[in-house]
Structure 1
Amino acid sequence: MGIGFLGAIIVGGLAGWIASSIMNSDTGILLNIILGIVGAVVLNAILALFGIYAANAWIPQLIVGIIGACLLIWGYRKVS
């Protein structure tokens, strides 16, 4: 059983918040949620290209979301 849409929002928000703490970023709660969700989706897509799939459960998705959001924050800093 997957985590579902609401679970993805919660996990994405948590991942974004943790990533903003790790990266010492001062973004708002909405941007944290967006970065967490987008980071998880993008990193899952990249990993799938290499045949690596994160389990559809809370912990693996949280880890992938944190890493993806950290990468997005880093990229945003480089662009701006």
Structure 2
Amino acid sequence: MITVAELEYGQKGIIKEFSVDILPIKLLELGCLPGNTVELVQVAPLNDPIYINVNGSHIAIRKSLARLIEITIQEDLTTL
């Protein structure tokens, strides 16, 4: 199981299916939905919170919440 909290700078993933009860409604409204792409943009100096891009929405979330969002890593096909 890979989560958003495990992404590295610039790495992208696709959000997997999850129970809607896990995330606050505000994150769902900002695009944290299954099938959407998420990218790690920046990490705060003390590693919490993290700054992510989800379908064009830039969001800062705590790592504890990021650990609840399962993803599949999106391979970068441009380097092949």
TM-score band (shorter)?
Answer: under 0.3
More helix by share: 1
User: So what's the TM-score if we normalise by structure 1?
Assistant: 0.25
TM-score relative to the length of structure 2? 0.25
